[in-house]
Amino acid sequence: MAGGGAAASALSSPWRALLQRALDANAHLKHSTFFQLATVGGGGRPANRTVVFRGFQEHSDKIQINTDARSNKVIGEIKEWPLGEICWYFTDSWEQFRISGIIDVMDGSSPDPAKLQQRERAWFASSVKSRLQCLGPSPGVPVANDDHVKDVHIDPSAGPVDAYCLLTLDPEKVDYVNLKSNQRLMFTRTQEGDESGDWMARK
């Protein structure tokens, strides 16, 4: 079994359909868009935290995550060693996606206009409520309780605040398990440096 041919678009990456199905099946659960992102910090220490899925970057498979540039240590560590593995467990459909790839960090200090633009696009794609999280008290954690938000205001047409940092994870390998059907599929990207890429799948 193999993924689409060389002409396959990102949207037809074979694991994307499985992921979309899982998102749909678990959409009634607020936490279905939460996953755990593992990275490697100073001294080779693994780090693992819950973050929120912010959709895919346009025309690609890159997974977007909003973070807070005030978590300087984390951002620094990821810039230093940009490998990550997402573990995304869907609690209702009993499906697990392990997605590993390279992480790109886009904060306001990026010298690359394309990245600044991408960061701005992701900022405006986020809800005003979620933008307010960058003004919240706890950098680095999803804010489920937005009580603090009552006293904070933000101009909906204003661009990204300094604290806003966009991460994108570019998947290279996706390990899928369905614990109900005992189905396991492993997807591996066979082309490097291609926005859409090509994928091989095996059971």
Q: Which residues would be at the binding site for its own copies (CB under 8 A)?
A: 29, 31, 34, 36-40, 44-50, 81, 83-87, 89, 91, 94, 96, 98, 100, 137-138, 141-145, 147-148, 177, 179-182, 184
Q: Between 2 and 29, whose beta carbon lies closer to its own copies?
A: 29
Question: Which neighbouring-strand residues pair with 88?
Answer: 97
- What minimum distance in Å lies between the beta carbon of 100 and its own copies? 7
Q: Give the burial string for 29-43 (b: 16+ CB within 10 Å, else e).
A: eeebbbbebebbeee
Whole-number Å distance between alpha carbons of 43 and 34: 27
Please state the closest distance from residue 47 (CB atom) to its own copies, in A. Answer: 6
Distances (CA, A) of 121 to 9, 38, 57, 131, 149: 21, 25, 9, 12, 23
Q: Cα separation of 26 and 90, whole Å? A: 7
Question: Please, which residue, 108 or 139, has the CB nearer to its own copies?
Answer: 139
Of 113 and 137, which has the nearer Cβ to its own copies? 137
Please report how close the Cβ of residue 25 comes to its own copies at its closest, in angstroms.
15
Nearer to its own copies, 52 or 116 (CB): 52
Compute the least distance from the CB of residue 145 to its own copies, in Å.
Answer: 5
Among 203, 128, 195, CA closest to 161: 128
